[in-house]
C-alpha cells in the first residue's frame, strides 16, 4: 500500500497487550514498523495471579510478522518500570496506549472497598503512572501520542460496574486536561470507548455478540490516532463492530436568569422545561465556551435593570401584537383640515389635501401616517396593552420626539397594520425616554411607513442606565432660506382631535388646568402637521408625495390660536433643517428638526397603466409570460393538475404546459401524455391569453378545438390572472434585443376602435342625447389624441378633435381609456387613483355610466378588427350605415317586415308580440304578430309576450335554420324571457335577409 | 317478509356555513348522541355504525364515532356523493334485516366555501360521462359544474313546457318560508320571489338563491329490529315501509337529455319500486323531503316521484300543492335550499325531519296527521335512494 501509515522508528508501549484489544493494537503497530513494549501482567481478568506467557506469545507473534518487540511483565501501578523498559531497549518513547484493565463487577450494595480500590488502581492510577513516567521524555522530545481506554459503562453507566464506571470516567477527565497541557509540546491525547469482545467483556455480553465484536475492528482507529500525521487531540471515540464515532458535549440553550433579581427554586422549577429542552443546543468544546452564557449574562446585566417605573430587561425589545386601523379620503381630508390646510379655500396646494375631487390630484399629507401610528400606540395604551416592564401611567408621558419615514406612495384609502416594538429605553437622569418603533403595512403586507415615537416618561429615570445618543442638529447661522408664518385657529385642537387623539388635555379646560396649563394645549402632532405642510409648500411645490422623512423634537407647548413661525434652511437639496416658534411668546416649540425630500414622486412598483397594444406578440412571448407566471405561482400545479398541449396554427407551433408534474413547466414540443389538447390559431391564442377573447366563445365559435379531458380545459381560467404588464415587458425585452420584426401600428388605432364602437352605440340609441345632455371632451395621452363625444345635440356625435364648449374634459392615458371602455377598469377607481383627471362639470362626468352599456365585446372586436387590418390610419369617419359592424339584424328585420306584409298568414300562426334584443351590435326590434297590428319596428315593449336576447351572429344562424333555437337556448346563447314556447315557433324567420 | 326496521331515534346539529362549524368529529358525535338519547338507548347498545361523508380522508367515521367510545364494533365508512346519508341509512336497514338488533346510521360533512368541484384531478372523474354528455348538449361555462348540469336540465324542461322563471323562484320562496320555522336550518330569513329572481344569475334559469349552499353539519338515526324494541320496551311507531336505491341506467347518457342525465329516471324507477313494495301510491303520501339541491331539481323530482303528472309541475306549484294546505307538504324542513346541504348528512337530516313529522313533534312545521312520509336523496355520479316511512 503506497500510502500505508507506517511507524518506523517509533516506540510504543501497549499495556495489557497479552490478549484482546491490547494484543490487537500491538500486533498492528508492530506490523507497521513500530517497536513495541508488550506489557502484560499475565493475570486473570479479575486481576489475580501473574504469568509471563501472554506477553511472550504476543512478542513472538510480532517477531513472526517481522516486527520488533520486547515483553514486559510489570503491573501498570509500576508504570515507571514499563516506561523504563522502553527507554532501556529502544532509547525513546513515542506512543503510550493505556489499555490494561480488570473487572470487579458487583452491585454497589455488595461492593467492598477492596473492589473499588483495585479497579481504581489498575485503570485510573495505572494509566496515570504509565503516562506520568512517559510525560517528561515526550515533552523533551516534543512529540508523543497517548491513548486512554474508557468504556460505555462510564459514559452511560452500567449495572454492577460502579467502580469500573467511575475509574473509566476518571480517564476521560484526565485525557481532557492532558490534551490541553500536551498540545504545545506535540503530545496529543485521545480516548476510546471500545465496543469489543475481550477478556473483560466475555462475562457481560452474550457470546455471539462478543464474537462479532472483534478487537481487530478497534485497533485501526487506535493506530490512526497514534500516527504522526494525525492531529486529533482531546477526542473521545466510540468504536467497534465496524462502527466509528466521535462524541462531544451537547448542552441545551437553557435559560438565563437575570442576576439583578433573586433566583429561586420556584423560578428554576418554572423554567425547568426550558432548561432541559434540547430544541436549541450548543456544543461547548472548552471551558471558555462552557462559561460563555454566564459571561453574556454578566454583560447584559451591566447598565440596564431599571426601577419601579421601568424594567428595562423586560420591556426592551418587546413586540406588541399587531394593531389595525384604516382610513378613507374623508379621514385624510379631516386630518388635513385639522393641521390648517384649506384655511384659504382657493389655495390649489391645500385643496390637494382636503378635496378628493381636486383637479390636480388628491394626496395624503404624509404626516397623517404619524398620526395613524401614534394613534395605534395610544389606543393600545388605553386598552391596557402596555409592554411588560413598563409600569407608568399615561399621565407621566409626553411625546418627546417623532420620526416618520414614508416607504411607499400612500394610497387615498387603506387598511393598515401597525407592528410596534420597544426599540430603546434611555435614562436621562430625571426622566426616561422610551422609543417605540412602529412599522405600518397595508393590507397586502407592503410597508407604507416607519415611525419612531420617543416618549418622555417624567420622573422615571435615574437607575443609572444608558443615557442614549444625544443628537443635536445645529442650525446654520445664516437667516432662514424660507419662513412660513401661519396662525392656528382658536378651535384648532378641537378640530384636530377628530383625527383620533382624544386626550382631554387638548379639549377640557379643567383637565388642562389640572396639568398646570392655563387652557387646553395643541397636540404636538398637530404642530407637526403644520410644519410638514410648511416644508412641502416651501421646498416641494406643495406636492405631498415628495416627503421622504421628517424628524422633530417637541420642545414646548402651543396654545390654539397662536401663530406658528417655521424657519427653514435647505442644507443640501432634499434636506431641510427647521425650527418652529410661537410668534406671540417667541418660544421654540419644535427643534432638532430635519426633513428629507424626494426629487420627484416615487413610483409605485405595482403594475401601472394597462399595457399598450401587444400587437406584435408571438406565441413564444406568451408562453414566456406563462412560464414566468408559473414561477411566481407554484401552487398552480396543485390546483390545476393537468398537462395541456397547445397546437398553435398560423404560424404553427406546439407547446406543452405541464401543470401536473413537479413544479410545472412550459416547454416547446408535444407532451408525452397530455390530459387535454387545445388547437387554435396564434392570433386567437394571443387574444385569449391577453384577455381579449373568451375561451368559451372561441370554443363555441369553432376556433378552439379541445380534445381529451374537457373538464381539464375549464381550468384554463388561471390564464386570466396573468399580468398583462408582464406580456408587455416580454415584448419590450424582445424588441430591445432582437430586430424589430414588424413596426408597431400607428398609435391611436386602438382608442379609435373604441370610439367607433361608441359611435355605433350612439346610432343605436338616438334617445341618449336627450337623457345625457352632455358634451364630453376626451384628451388621451400616450399617445396623445383628442375626441369629442357629443351626447347633447341632435342624435349625438363621436369624432376626433376638440369641442368648442365641452361640459366636461376627461384626461387619461390611452391604455386606461381602453381598460375603462372594455370594462377592465372602473372610472371611479381611475379617478380616485389620479389616473383619470376630470375638469369642468364633475356631475356630468358621472353620466359616463352609459359607457358601461356599450357592448364590451363589440369594442373588443372592433379592436381586433383594427389590429387585424392594421390599415385604417389617419382620420376616422363615423362608419356608414349598412357596414358589417352594424350587424345583420337590420337587414333581417327589414326583410321580415316585407315578408309579413306579403304573407299575413305567417303572423296568425304565432299571434303574439315578440321582442328581439340583439347584441353585438346592440339593437332592439319589436315583431308584432298580433292580429290587426302586424309589423316590425325598432324598440322595446313591456307588453311583449316573449323577449329573445341573442347575439347578432346567432340571429344569422337562427335565420338560416330556426331549428337551432333549441340548441342556442340550451347553451344559453338564446335567452327567453316570458313564454319560452314561442321560441318553438320562429319558423317565420327562415331564410330572411 | 323481511324483518321490520324501526327508526327509534334521530338527531342533527344546526347546519352552519363553512368556517363557522365545529370540526366533523364534534358535529357527528353531537348528532349521534342526540339520536341515541332520542332513542332512549346507549352507545353500548349499538352493534354497528354506518358513517357517511364525502370530503375527508379515509376512516373519518371511526374518528367521529370514537368520540362516543372505543368499543371495537364494526364501523363502515360510506361515500355516495350527495346520496351518502341515505346510503348509510340503507346499509343500516339492511343490517337490521340481516339480523342486527340496533344500528347507528351517521352522516356528516365539513364543507369548504364555494361551489362543489373535483378534489382528485389526476384520475378519471366519476362524473366524466355526465360532463361529456353535458358538453355535447350545451357546452361548458365557468359556472359551477353542478349548476350547469341541473340548470341545463331546467333549461330543457323550460324549452319543453315553456315554464316561467318565476315558477322556479317560487320553489326557493317556499323553501325559505318553511325553513323559517326550522331551528336547525342555515337560512331562516324568508325571501320574496322578486328577491330570488334579482339575485345573481348563476346559470339561467338558476339565480344564486336557487342553489343550495355549501354547508357543514351532521345528522344521525338509530335503527332497530322489532325484537329489540319489544325487549327494551321502547316506543317504536315509525318504521321503514320500503326503500330502494337505483344508479344510472343507459337512459342517463343515451338520450342526450340533461333531465335524464341528472337522475330523473333513477328517481322515477326508485319511486315506482318503493310504491310497489309498500303497497302505497303517491296519493297516500302526506309529507315529502326531496332532493332540492337546485330549484330545477325539485321541480323535476315532483314529476319523477309521481307527485304530479309529467309537464304538470308548474300548475302544481302555482296551485300550492307543494306546501301547507295543498296536496303534499314538500320539504317542510326548508330542504337543501334553505336548511343547507352538508353532503354526507343530508340523507339523514331528511330522515330526521320525516320522523319528527310522523311522530307529530315537528312544532310549527308539523303536517297535520302525517302518517306516510317519502324521502328522496340523489347523488350525481350517481345514486338515488327513495325511502317510505310509516307510523303504526
Q: What tens digit of pLDDT does each residue of A462-485 get?
A: 887 788 877 788 899 899 999 999
Which pLDDT score, from 0 to 100, does residue B93 have?
Answer: 97
What mean pLDDT is predicted for residues A652-668?
Answer: 84
**Residue in chain B lying closest to A979 (CA):** B162
**How does DSSP assign A60-78, residue by residue?**
HHHHHTT-EEEEE---GGG
Optimal mutation site among A662, A965, A976, A986, interface B, most CBs of chain B within 10 A: A976
What mean pLDDT is predicted for residues A221-238?
Answer: 96
d(CA A205, CA A196): 10
Q: In the numeric block, which cell numbers belong to residue A294?
A: 454566564
What mean pLDDT is predicted for residues B31-45?
Answer: 96
Q: In chain B, which residues have their Cβ closer than 8 Å to the Cβ of A976?
A: 158
What mean pLDDT is predicted for residues B369-380?
Answer: 97
Which pLDDT score, from 0 to 100, does residue A241 have?
Answer: 87
The yes-or-no verdict on residue B15 having pLDDT over 70 is yes
- State the Rg of chain A over Cα: 46
Q: In chain B, which residues have their Cβ closer than 8 Å to the Cβ of A640?
A: 121
Q: Which of A700, A966, A981 sits opposite B139 (nearest CB)?
A: A700
Number of Cβ within 10 Å of residue A991's Cβ equals 10
Q: Number of residue pairs across A and B with CB atoms under 8 Å? A: 63
**Which segments of chain A belong to CATH 3.30.1050.10?**
619-737, 749-869, 887-989
The yes-or-no verdict on residue B334 having pLDDT over 90 is yes
pTM (2 d.p.): 0.45
Between residues A138 and A611, which one has the greater pLDDT? A138
Which pLDDT score, from 0 to 100, does residue B379 have?
Answer: 96
CA distances from A285 to A263, A412, A703 (A): 27, 59, 73
Band of the pLDDT at A348, cuts 50, 70, 90?
confident
d(CA A499, CA A526): 10
The yes-or-no verdict on residue A882 having pLDDT over 50 is no
Give the domain A323-597 fold: Thiol Ester Dehydrase; Chain A (3.10.129)
* Catalytic site positions of B: 82, 341
Optimal mutation site among A639, A950, A966, A970, interface B, most CBs of chain B within 10 A: A970
User: Residues A399-428: pLDDT tens digits?
Assistant: 899 999 999 999 988 999 999 999 989 888
Residue A217 C-alpha from the chain's centroid? 53
CA distances from A12 to A89, A184, A218, A432 (A): 11, 21, 17, 71
d(CA A135, CA A142): 10
Known active-site residue A164: yes
Which pLDDT score, from 0 to 100, does residue A746 have?
Answer: 36
Which pLDDT score, from 0 to 100, does residue A616 have?
Answer: 56
Task: Enter the DSSP assignment of B68.
Answer: T
A213-219 long-range CB contacts below 8 Å, 24 or more apart?
A213/A240, A213/A241, A214/A24, A215/A20, A215/A21, A215/A23, A215/A24, A215/A25, A216/A24, A216/A28, A217/A241, A217/A242, A218/A21, A218/A24, A218/A25, A218/A192, A218/A194, A219/A21, A219/A24, A219/A25, A219/A27, A219/A28
The yes-or-no verdict on residue A342 having pLDDT over 60 is yes
The minimum CA-CA distance between A698 and chain B, rounded to whole Å, is 12
Q: In chain B, which residues have their Cβ closer than 8 Å to the Cβ of A980?
A: 158-159, 161-163
Band of the pLDDT at A724, cuts 50, 70, 90?
low
The yes-or-no verdict on residue B296 having pLDDT over 70 is yes
What mean pLDDT is predicted for residues A665-671?
Answer: 82
Which pLDDT score, from 0 to 100, does residue A859 have?
Answer: 61
Cβ burial, residue A931 (10 Å; 0-12/13-18/19+): exposed
Say yes or no: ipTM exceeds 0.90. Answer: no
Are B204 and A714 inside 8 Å of each other by CB? no
Residues 6+ away with beta carbon under 8 Å from A632? none
Q: Are A341 and A362 in contact (CB under 8 A)?
A: no
Between residues A701 and A14, which one has the greater pLDDT? A14
Q: Which of B121, B141, B158 sits opposite A696 (nearest CB)?
A: B141
Q: In the numeric block, which cell numbers belong to residue B163?
A: 315554464
Burial B147-171 (b: 16+ CB within 10 A, else e): bbbbbbbbbbbbbbbbbbbbbbbbb
User: Which residue's C-alpha cell is 342486527?
Assistant: B100
User: Residues A512-533: pLDDT tens digits?
Assistant: 888 888 999 999 999 999 999 9
What percentage of chain A carries pLDDT values higher than 90?
43
Cβ burial, residue A738 (10 Å; 0-12/13-18/19+): exposed
**Which segments of chain A belong to CATH 3.10.129.10?**
323-597
CA distances from A29 to A69, A234, A243, A260, A451 (A): 10, 21, 21, 59, 72
Which pLDDT score, from 0 to 100, does residue A654 have?
Answer: 84
Give the domain B5-114+213-391 fold: Peroxisomal Thiolase; Chain A, domain 1 (3.40.47)
CA distances from A473 to A476, A484, A553, A947 (A): 10, 20, 11, 78
Which pLDDT score, from 0 to 100, does residue A44 have?
Answer: 62
Size of chain A, expressed as the number of residues it contains? 993
Q: Which helix (H) or strand (E) holds A237?
A: strand A236-240
Q: In the numeric block, which cell numbers belong to residue A86?
A: 522502553
Between residues A749 and A575, which one has the greater pLDDT? A575
Mean pLDDT of chain B: 95
Mean pLDDT of chain A: 84
Optimal mutation site among B159, B207, B258, interface A, most CBs of chain A within 10 A: B159
Q: Are B149 and B143 in contact (CB under 8 A)?
A: no
Q: In the numeric block, which cell numbers belong to residue A106?
A: 458487583
User: Residues A34-53: pLDDT tens digits?
Assistant: 999 999 987 666 555 567 78
Beta strands in A462-538, from DSSP E residues, in sequence order: 482-487
What mean pLDDT is predicted for residues A122-137?
Answer: 96
User: Which residue's C-alpha cell is 466510540?
Assistant: A238
Q: In the numeric block, which cell numbers belong to residue B282?
A: 303517491
The minimum CA-CA distance between A665 and chain B, rounded to whole Å, is 17
What mean pLDDT is predicted for residues A293-301?
Answer: 76
Which pLDDT score, from 0 to 100, does residue A275 have?
Answer: 94
Between residues A880 and A338, which one has the greater pLDDT? A338
What mean pLDDT is predicted for residues A181-204?
Answer: 80
Q: Which of A712, A970, A976 sits opposite B137 (nearest CB)?
A: A970
Which pLDDT score, from 0 to 100, does residue B194 have?
Answer: 95
Q: In chain B, which residues have their Cβ closer than 8 Å to the Cβ of A982?
A: 162
d(CA B292, CA B82): 11
Three-class secondary structure of residue A735 per DSSP = helix
Which pLDDT score, from 0 to 100, does residue A868 have?
Answer: 46
What mean pLDDT is predicted for residues A858-875?
Answer: 49
Which pLDDT score, from 0 to 100, does residue A43 have?
Answer: 66
Bridge partners (DSSP) of residue A306 are: A311
Range scoring the smallest mean pLDDT among A65-79, A743-757, A881-895 = A743-757
The yes-or-no verdict on residue A456 having pLDDT over 80 is yes
User: Residues A806-825: pLDDT tens digits?
Assistant: 888 888 888 888 777 776 77
Q: In chain A, which residues have their Cβ closer than 8 Å to the Cβ of B314?
A: none
A551: closest CA among A630, A472, A484? A472
Q: Which CATH code of 1.10.10.10, 3.30.70.20, 3.20.20.70, 3.40.50.720 fits the domain covering A11-247?
A: 3.40.50.720
What percentage of chain A carries pLDDT values higher than 70?
86
Are A971 and B156 inside 8 Å of each other by CB? no
Q: In chain A, which residues have their Cβ closer than 8 Å to the Cβ of B138?
A: 970-972
The yes-or-no verdict on residue A196 having pLDDT over 70 is no
Cβ burial, residue A809 (10 Å; 0-12/13-18/19+): buried
Angle at CA of residue A764, ends A763 and A766, nearest 5°: 70
User: Which residue's C-alpha cell is 387615498?
Assistant: A412
Number of Cβ within 10 Å of residue A155's Cβ equals 16
Which pLDDT score, from 0 to 100, does residue A655 have?
Answer: 85
Which pLDDT score, from 0 to 100, does residue B295 have?
Answer: 98
| Catalytic one of A73, A128, A143, A164 | A164
Band of the pLDDT at A862, cuts 50, 70, 90?
low
Architecture of domain A619-737: 2-Layer Sandwich (3.30)
Q: Which of B121, B128, B139 sits opposite A642 (nearest CB)?
A: B121
Are A971 and B139 inside 8 Å of each other by CB? yes
A889: closest CA among A836, A949, A829, A846? A949
Overall CATH class of domain A749-869: alpha beta
Overall CATH class of domain A887-989: alpha beta
Three-class secondary structure of residue A256 per DSSP = coil
Which pLDDT score, from 0 to 100, does residue A874 have?
Answer: 36
Range scoring the smallest mean pLDDT among A570-574, A775-779, A793-797, B45-49 = A793-797
Q: Name the most confidently modeled range: A680-694, A738-752, B208-222.
A: B208-222
Amino acid at each position: 500500500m503506497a500510502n500505508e501509515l507506517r511507524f518506523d522508528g517509533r516506540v510504543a508501549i501497549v499495556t495489557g497487550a497479552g490478549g484482546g484489544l491490547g494484543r490487537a493494537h500491538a500486533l498492528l503497530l508492530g506490523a507497521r514498523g513500530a517497536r513495541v513494549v508488550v506489557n502484560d501482567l499475565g493475570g486473570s481478568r479479575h486481576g489475580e495471579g501473574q504469568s509471563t506467557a501472554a506477553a511472550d506469545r504476543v512478542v513472538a507473534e510480532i517477531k513472526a510478522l517481522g516486527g520488533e518487540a520486547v515483553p514486559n511483565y510489570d503491573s501498570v501501578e509500576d508504570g515507571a518500570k514499563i516506561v523504563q523498559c522502553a527507554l532501556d531497549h529502544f532509547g525513546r518513547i513515542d506512543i503510550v496506549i493505556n489499555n490494561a484493565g480488570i473487572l470487579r463487577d458487583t452491585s454497589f450494595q455488595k461492593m467492598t472497598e477492596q473492589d473499588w480500590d483495585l479497579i481504581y488502581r489498575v485503570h485510573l492510577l495505572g494509566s496515570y503512572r504509565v503516562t506520568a513516567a512517559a510525560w517528561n521524555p515526550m515533552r523533551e522530545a516534543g512529540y508523543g501520542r497517548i491513548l486512554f481506554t474508557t468504556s460505555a459503562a462510564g459514559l452511560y453507566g452500567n449495572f454492577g460496574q460502579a467502580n469500573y464506571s467511575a475509574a473509566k470516567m476518571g480517564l476521560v477527565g484526565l485525557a481532557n486536561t492532558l490534551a490541553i497541557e500536551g498540545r504545545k509540546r506535540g503530545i496529543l491525547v485521545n480516548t476510546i470507548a471500545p465496543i469489543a469482545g475481550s477478556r473483560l467483556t466475555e462475562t457481560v455480553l452474550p457470546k455471539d455478540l462478543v464474537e462479532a465484536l472483534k478487537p481487530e475492528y478497534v485497533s485501526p482507529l487506535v493506530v490512526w490516532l497514534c500516527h504522526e500525521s494525525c492531529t486529533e487531540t482531546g477526542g473521545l471515540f466510540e468504536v467497534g463492530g465496524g462502527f466509528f464515532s466521535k462524541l462531544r458535549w451537547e448542552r441545551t440553550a437553557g435559560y438565563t436568569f437575570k442576576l439583578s433579581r433573586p433566583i429561586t427554586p420556584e423560578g428554576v422549577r418554572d423554567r425547568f422545561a426550558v432548561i432541559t429542552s434540547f430544541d436549541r443546543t450548543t456544543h461547548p468544546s472548552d471551558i471558555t465556551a462552557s462559561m460563555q452564557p454566564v459571561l453574556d449574562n454578566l454583560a447584559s446585566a451591566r447598565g440596564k435593570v431599571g426601577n419601579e417605573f421601568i424594567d428595562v430587561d423586560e420591556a426592551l425589545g418587546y413586540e406588541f401584537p399587531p394593531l389595525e386601523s384604516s382610513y378613507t379620503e374623508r379621514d385624510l381630508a379631516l386630518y388635513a383640515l385639522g393641521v390648517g390646510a384649506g384655511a384659504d379655500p382657493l389655495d390649489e396646494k391645500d385643496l390637494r389635501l382636503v378635496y378628493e375631487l381636486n383637479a390636480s390630484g388628491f394626496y395624503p399629507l404624509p404626516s397623517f401616517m404619524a398620526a395613524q401610528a401614534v394613534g395605534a400606540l395610544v389606543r393600545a395604551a388605553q386598552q391596557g396593552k402596555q409592554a411588560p416592564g413598563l409600569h407608568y401611567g399615561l399621565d407621566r408621558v409626553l411625546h418627546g420626539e417623532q420620526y416618520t419615514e414614508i416607504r411607499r406612495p400612500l394610497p387615498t384609502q387603506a387598511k393598515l397594520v401597525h407592528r410596534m416594538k420597544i426599540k430603546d429605553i434611555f435614562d436621562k437622569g430625571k426622566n426616561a425616554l422610551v422609543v417605540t418603533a412602529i412599522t405600518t403595512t397595508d393590507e397586502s403586507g407592503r410597508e407604507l411607513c416607519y415611525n419612531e415615537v420617543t416618549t418622555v416618561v417624567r420622573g422615571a429615570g435615574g437607575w443609572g442606565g444608558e443615557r442614549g445618543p444625544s443628537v443635536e442638529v445645529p442650525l446654520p447661522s445664516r437667516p432662514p432660506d424660507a419662513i412660513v408664518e401661519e396662525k392656528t385657529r382658536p378651535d384648532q385642537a378641537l378640530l384636530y382631535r377628530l383625527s383620533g387623539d382624544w386626550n382631554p388635555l387638548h379639549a377640557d379646560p379643567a383637565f388642562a388646568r389640572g396639568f398646570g396649563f392655563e387652557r387646553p394645549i395643541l397636540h404636538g402632532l398637530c404642530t407637526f402637521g403644520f410644519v410638514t405642510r410648511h416644508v412641502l409648500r416651501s421646498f416641494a411645490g406643495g406636492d405631498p408625495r415628495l416627503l421622504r422623512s421628517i424628524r422633530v423634537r417637541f420642545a414646548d407647548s402651543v396654545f390654539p390660536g397662536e401663530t406658528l413661525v417655521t424657519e427653514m434652511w435647505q442644507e443640501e437639496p432634499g434636506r431641510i433643517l427647521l425650527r418652529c416658534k410661537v410668534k406671540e411668546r417667541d418660544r421654540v416649540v419644535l427643534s432638532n428638526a430635519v426633513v428629507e425630500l424626494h426629487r420627484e414622486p416615487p413610483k409605485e412598483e405595482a403594475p401601472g397603466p394597462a399595457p399598450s397594444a401587444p400587437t406584435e406578440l408571438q406565441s413564444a412571448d406568451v408562453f414566456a409570460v406563462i412560464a414566468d407566471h408559473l414561477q411566481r405561482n407554484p401552487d398552480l400545479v396543485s390546483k390545476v393538475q393537468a398537462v395541456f398541449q397547445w397546437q398553435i396554427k398560423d404560424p404553427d407551433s406546439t407547446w406543452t404546459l405541464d401543470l401536473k408534474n413537479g413544479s410545472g413547466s412550459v416547454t416547446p414540443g408535444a407532451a408525452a401524455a397530455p390530459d387535454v389538447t387545445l388547437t387554435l390559431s396564434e392570433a386567437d391564442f394571443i387574444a385569449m391569453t391577453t384577455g381579449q377573447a373568451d375561451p368559451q366563445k372561441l370554443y363555441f365559435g369553432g376556433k378552439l378545438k379541445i380534445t381529451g379531458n374537457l373538464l381539464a380545459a375549464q381550468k384554463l381560467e388561471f390564464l386570466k390572472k396573468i399580468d398583462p404588464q408582464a406580456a408587455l415587458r416580454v415584448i419590450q425585452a424582445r424588441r430591445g434585443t432582437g430586430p424589430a420584426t414588424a413596426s408597431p401600428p400607428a398609435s391611436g388605432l386602438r382608442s379609435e376602435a373604441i370610439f367607433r364602437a361608441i359611435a355605433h352605440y350612439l346610432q343605436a340609441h338616438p334617445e341618449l342625447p336627450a337623457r345625457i345632455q352632455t358634451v364630453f371632451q376626451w384628451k388621451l395621452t400616450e399617445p396623445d389624441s383628442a375626441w369629442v363625444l357629443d351626447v347633447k345635440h341632435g342624435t349625438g356625435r363621436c369624432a376626433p378633435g376638440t369641442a368648442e364648449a365641452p361640459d366636461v374634459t376627461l384626461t387619461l392615458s390611452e391604455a386606461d381609456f381602453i381598460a375603462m371602455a372594455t370594462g377592465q377598469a372602473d372610472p371611479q377607481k381611475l379617478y380616485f387613483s389620479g389616473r383619470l383627471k376630470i375638469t369642468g362639470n364633475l356631475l356630468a362626468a358621472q353620466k359616463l355610466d352609459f359607457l358601461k352599456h356599450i357592448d364590451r365585446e363589440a369594442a373588443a372586436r372592433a379592436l381586433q378588427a383594427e389590429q387585424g387590418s392594421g390599415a385604417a390610419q389617419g382620420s376616422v369617419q363615423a362608419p356608414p350605415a349598412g357596414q358589417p359592424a352594424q350587424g345583420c339584424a337590420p337587414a333581417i328585420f327589414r326583410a321580415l317586415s316585407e315578408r309579413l306584409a306579403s304573407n299575413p298568414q305567417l303572423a296568425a300562426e304565432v299571434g303574439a308580440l315578440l321582442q328581439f334584443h340583439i347584441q353585438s351590435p346592440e339593437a332592439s326590434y319589436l315583431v308584432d304578430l298580433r292580429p290587426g297590428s302586424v309589423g316590425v319596428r325598432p324598440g322595446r315593449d313591456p307588453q311583449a309576450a316573449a323577449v329573445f336576447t341573442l347575439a347578432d351572429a346567432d340571429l344569422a344562424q337562427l335565420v338560416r335554420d330556426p331549428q337551432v333555437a333549441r340548441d342556442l337556448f340550451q347553451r344559453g346563447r338564446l335567452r327567453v324571457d316570458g313564454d319560452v314556447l314561442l321560441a318553438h315557433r320562429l319558423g317565420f324567420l327562415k331564410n330572411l335577409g | 317478509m323481511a324483518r321490520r326496521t324501526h327508526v327509534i331515534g334521530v338527531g342533527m346539529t344546526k347546519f352552519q356555513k363553512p368556517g363557522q362549524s365545529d370540526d366533523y368529529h364534534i358535529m357527528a358525535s353531537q348528532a349521534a348522541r342526540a339520536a341515541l338519547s332520542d332513542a332512549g338507548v346507549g352507545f353500548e347498545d349499538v352493534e354497528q355504525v354506518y358513517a357517511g361523508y364525502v370530503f375527508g380522508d379515509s376512516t373519518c367515521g371511526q374518528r367521529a364515532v370514537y368520540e362516543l367510545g372505543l368499543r371495537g364494533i364494526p364501523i363502515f365508512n360510506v361515500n355516495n356523493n350527495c346520496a351518502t346519508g341515505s346510503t348509510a341509512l340503507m346499509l343500516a336497514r339492511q343490517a337490521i334485516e340481516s339480523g342486527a338488533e340496533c344500528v347507528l346510521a351517521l352522516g356528516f360533512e365539513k364543507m369548504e366555501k364555494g361551489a362543489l368541484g373535483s378534489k382528485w384531478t389526476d384520475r378519471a372523474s366519476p362524473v366524466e360521462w355526465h360532463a361529456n354528455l353535458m358538453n355535447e348538449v350545451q357546452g361548458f361555462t365557468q359556472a359551477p359544474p353542478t349548476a350547469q348540469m341541473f340548470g341545463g336540465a331546467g333549461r330543457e324542461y323550460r324549452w319543453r313546457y315553456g315554464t316561467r322563471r318565476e315558477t322556479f323562484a317560487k320553489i326557493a320562496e317556499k323553501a325559505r318560508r318553511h325553513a323559517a320555522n326550522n331551528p336547525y336550518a342555515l337560512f331562516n330569513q324568508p325571501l320574496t320571489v322578486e328577491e330570488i329572481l334579482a339575485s345573481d344569475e348563476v346559470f339561467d334559469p338558476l339565480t344564486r338563491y336557487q342553489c343550495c349552499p355549501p354547508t357543514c353539519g351532521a345528522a344521525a338515526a338509530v335503527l332497530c329490529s322489532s325484537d329489540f324494541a319489544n325487549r327494551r320496551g321502547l316506543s317504536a311507531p315509525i318504521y321503514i315501509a320500503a326503500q330502494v336505491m337505483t344508479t344510472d341506467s343507459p337512459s342517463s347518457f343515451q338520450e342526450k337529455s340533461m333531465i335524464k342525465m341528472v337522475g330523473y329516471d333513477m328517481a322515477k324507477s326508485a319511486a315506482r319500486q318503493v310504491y310497489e313494495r309498500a303497497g302505497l301510491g303517491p296519493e297516500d303520501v302526506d309529507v315529502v323531503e326531496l332532493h332540492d339541491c337546485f330549484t330545477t331539481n325539485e321541480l323535476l323530482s315532483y314529476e319523477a316521484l309521481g307527485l304530479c303528472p309529467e309537464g304538470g309541475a308548474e300548475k302544481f306549484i302555482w296551485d300550492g300543492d307543494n306546501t301547507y294546505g295543498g296536496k303534499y307538504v314538500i320539504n317542510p324542513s326548508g330542504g337543501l335550499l334553505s336548511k343547507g346541504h352538508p353532503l354526507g348528512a343530508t340523507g339523514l337530516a331528511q330522515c330526521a325531519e320525516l320522523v319528527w313529522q310522523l311522530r307529530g313533534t315537528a312544532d310549527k312545521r308539523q303536517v297535520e296527521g302525517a302518517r306516510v312520509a317519502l324521502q328522496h336523496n340523489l347523488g350525481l355520479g350517481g345514486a338515488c335512494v327513495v325511502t317510505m316511512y310509516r307510523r303504526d
